[in-house]
């Protein structure tokens, strides 16, 4: 008798399981095919939404733990520097870049941008190698070779426009990150802007790969650096304003944007 | 006494076999890229429609009506409810239904006044959008999601933009988050709100209202 009972219970249980599994399966199928379960779906709509909320919240809690956050122990210093940079942008860099943009034709600005980009080839090349990205290093080398010759000293990015060779944005900060060195903490550098301890170290290291550093009268070197940064700014007028306008808390927004952007570059 | 009835064993075997089979077909369905391609094609038509509005010479004459037209369009593109949920993070739970509506109303305006000018900047005539990569996510609770990486190209300036798409309950595909150069807008707001530990929902709404110019 006991055997029979157990058997019946087993039968009922397995049938139940089968049905729920089947129902679940129909859910997973295209929605149009769930016609025979409409009430169930409707009744579940609300609970489904809260469950979806839970899923979303879980998902980005994970995300938050591994990526989004960075310590900011120098908050007061950083905030002050953020203020300084903000002031410098609106009262020095932006007006300069606007004037520059007005005077220098777009073609020339693109040329100058390409020239400085090409000049930084050693930094990208070395960091590709340090990260073990052989193919990327090879592509960088080809780009440099082609742009320096056919592209006339790098003023034309022939490699990208005609050969489809995309640049690889690699720097020492990213290399260190691939060696599992963490951000350390957030740091706002005067004039240079948002960074982290690791990325600042990387920046210093990368300076040695920048040919501008070895230009002999130092006035010329600084002139070149200023030209590079004003030229770059001339392409990005409005971006900073937009970010600030959209932000509820611009300082936090910029910090988070920097970290997220770096994460995405490191992943590549 | 311990031996099972042959019928029970048979049933159990059947049950196990059936569940296995079902779970296999379920994972098979999850990897099926059919629906993610659907998402991509609807994103394409959305972007094209927006570009038509942006390039419209009649509308361009009056910035106010131009903004308005784009804002109206935004509701056919974005799932502002999910977007807001992600932007607020756990704080979303503290909002009443009415407060959620309010938040969504202002948040939608803020997003459209931030995002569309980004598309419309400078040389619109040379603007193209390349569709680079489509990364579907696992289907959970009948909610389909996929990340579509695009590249906004103007001359030799390229901006990678990822559209995170969602389809729930057989509704049309919508965008619930945008990543520009790897920066997710929703995550960016979430971090900002996370820092404002003590603000109440009403304060958050008021603060947002101030930002909105539309």
Q: Is the pLDDT of residue B142 over 90?
A: no
- A29/B195 CB distance under 8 A: no
**Residue A54: closest C-alpha in chain B:** B90
Mean pLDDT of B109-117: 81
- Predicted confidence band of residue A1 (pLDDT cuts 50, 70, 90): low
- A256/B187 CB distance under 8 A: yes
Is B197's Cβ below 8 Å from some Cβ in A?
Answer: no
Interval A213-261: pLDDT, tens: 888 888 899 999 999 999 989 888 888 888 888 899 999 999 999 999 9
In percent, the amount of chain B with pLDDT more than 70 equals 79
DSSP A52: H
Non-local (6+) Cβ contacts of A62 within 8 A are none
User: Residues of B numbered 173-192 whose beta carbons fall under 8 angstroms of chain A's beta carbons: which are they?
Assistant: 179, 181-184, 187-192
Q: Is the pLDDT of residue A27 over 80?
A: no
The count of other CB atoms within 10 Å of the CB of residue A213 is 13
Interval A128-138: pLDDT, tens: 999 988 889 98
Is B10's Cβ below 8 Å from some Cβ in A?
Answer: no
Q: How many CA atoms lie within 13 A of A57 on its CB side?
A: 13
Quick check: ipTM above 0.90?
no
Mean pLDDT of A56-84: 79
Give the nearest partner residue to A25 out of B12, B22, B121, using CB atoms. Answer: B22
Mean pLDDT of A184-192: 93
Q: ∠ CA(A197), CA(A201), CA(A206), 5° rounding?
A: 145
Distance from CA of A65 to the nearest CA of B (A): 12
Q: What is residue B7's predicted lDDT score, i.e. its pLDDT?
A: 63
Q: What is residue B119's predicted lDDT score, i.e. its pLDDT?
A: 66
Give me A44's structure tokens: 């579940």
Q: Are A68 and A260 in contact (CB under 8 A)?
A: yes
- Predicted confidence band of residue B12 (pLDDT cuts 50, 70, 90): low
Q: What is residue A68's predicted lDDT score, i.e. its pLDDT?
A: 58
Which residues of chain B lie closer than 8 angstroms to A18, CB-CB?
A: 15, 18-19
Q: Are B161 and B148 in contact (CB under 8 A)?
A: no
Spatial distance between the Cα atoms of B178 and B129, rounded to a whole number of angstroms: 15
Interval B56-91: pLDDT, tens: 777 777 777 787 888 888 888 888 988 998 898 888
SS3 letters for B73-97? HHHHHECHHHHHHHHHHHHHHHCCH
Q: What is residue A21's predicted lDDT score, i.e. its pLDDT?
A: 47
The count of other CB atoms within 10 Å of the CB of residue A261 is 16
Non-local (6+) Cβ contacts of B167 within 8 A are B35, B39, B143, B144, B145, B173, B174
Higher pLDDT, B153 or B125: B153
- Predicted confidence band of residue A89 (pLDDT cuts 50, 70, 90): very high
Is B171's Cβ below 8 Å from some Cβ in A?
Answer: no
**Residue B169: closest C-alpha in chain A:** A31
Is A261's Cβ below 8 Å from some Cβ in B?
Answer: yes
- A252/B195 CB distance under 8 A: yes
Place of tokens 């150069």: B181
Spatial distance between the Cα atoms of A63 and A50, rounded to a whole number of angstroms: 20
Give the nearest partner residue to B169 out of A29, A45, A245, using CB atoms. Answer: A45
Q: What is residue B66's predicted lDDT score, i.e. its pLDDT?
A: 80
Spatial distance between the Cα atoms of A251 and A83, rounded to a whole number of angstroms: 9
The CA–CA distances, whole Å, from B75 to A30, A190, B69, B106, B116 equal 25, 41, 11, 13, 13
Distance from CA of B192 to the nearest CA of A (A): 6
């Amino acid at each position: 008798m006991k055997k029979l009972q157990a058997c019946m219970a087993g039968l009922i249980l397995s049938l139940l399981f089968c049905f729920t599994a089947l129902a679940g399966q129909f859910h997973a199928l295209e929605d149009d095919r769930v016609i025979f379960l409409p009430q169930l779906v409707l009744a579940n709509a609300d609970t489904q939404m809260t469950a979806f909320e839970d899923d979303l919240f879980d998902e980005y809690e994970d995300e938050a733990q591994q990526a989004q956050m960075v310590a900011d122990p120098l908050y007061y210093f950083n905030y002050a520097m953020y203020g300084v940079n903000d002031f410098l942008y609106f009262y020095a860099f932006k007006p300069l870049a606007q004037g520059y943009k007005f005077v220098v034709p777009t073609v020339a600005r693109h040329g100058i941008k390409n020239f400085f980009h090409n000049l930084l080839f050693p930094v990208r090349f070395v960091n590709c190698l340090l990260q073990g990205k052989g193919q990327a290093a090879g592509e960088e080398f080809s780009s440099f070779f082609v742009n320096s010759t056919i592209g006339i000293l790098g003023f034309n990015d022939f490699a990208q426009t005609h050969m489809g060779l995309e640049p690889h944005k690699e720097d020492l900060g990213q290399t260190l990150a691939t060696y599992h060195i963490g951000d350390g903490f957030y740091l706002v550098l005067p004039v240079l802007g948002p960074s982290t301890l690791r990325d600042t170290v990387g920046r210093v290291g990368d300076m040695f790969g920048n040919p501008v550093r070895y230009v002999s009268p130092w006035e010329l070197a600084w002139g070149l650096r200023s030209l590079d940064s004003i030229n770059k700014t001339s392409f990005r007028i409005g971006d900073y304003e937009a970010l600030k306008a959209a932000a509820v808390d611009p300082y936090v927004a910029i910090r988070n944007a920097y970290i997220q952007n770096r994460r995405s570059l490191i992943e590549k | 006494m311990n031996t099972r009835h042959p019928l029970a064993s048979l049933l159990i075997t059947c049950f196990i076999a059936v569940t296995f089979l079902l779970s296999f077909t379920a994972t098979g369905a999850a990897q099926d890229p059919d629906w993610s391609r659907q998402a991509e094609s609807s994103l394409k038509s959305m972007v094209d429609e927006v570009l038509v509005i942006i390039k419209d010479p009649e509308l361009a004459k009056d910035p106010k009506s131009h903004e308005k037209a784009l804002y109206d369009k935004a509701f056919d593109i974005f799932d502002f409810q999910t977007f807001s949920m992600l932007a607020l993070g756990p704080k979303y739970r503290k909002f009443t239904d009415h407060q959620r509506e309010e938040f969504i109303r202002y948040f939608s305006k803020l997003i459209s006044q931030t995002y569309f000018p980004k598309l419309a900047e400078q040389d619109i005539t040379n603007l193209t959008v390349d569709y680079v990569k489509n990364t579907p996510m696992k289907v959970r609770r009948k909610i389909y999601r996929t990340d579509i990486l695009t590249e906004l190209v103007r001359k030799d300036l390229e901006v990678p933009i990822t559209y995170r798409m969602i389809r729930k309950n057989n509704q049309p595909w919508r965008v619930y988050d945008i990543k520009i150069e790897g920066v997710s807008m929703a995550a960016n707001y979430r971090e900002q709100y996370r820092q404002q530990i003590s603000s109440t929902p009403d304060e958050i709404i008021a603060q947002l209202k101030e930002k909105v110019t539309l």
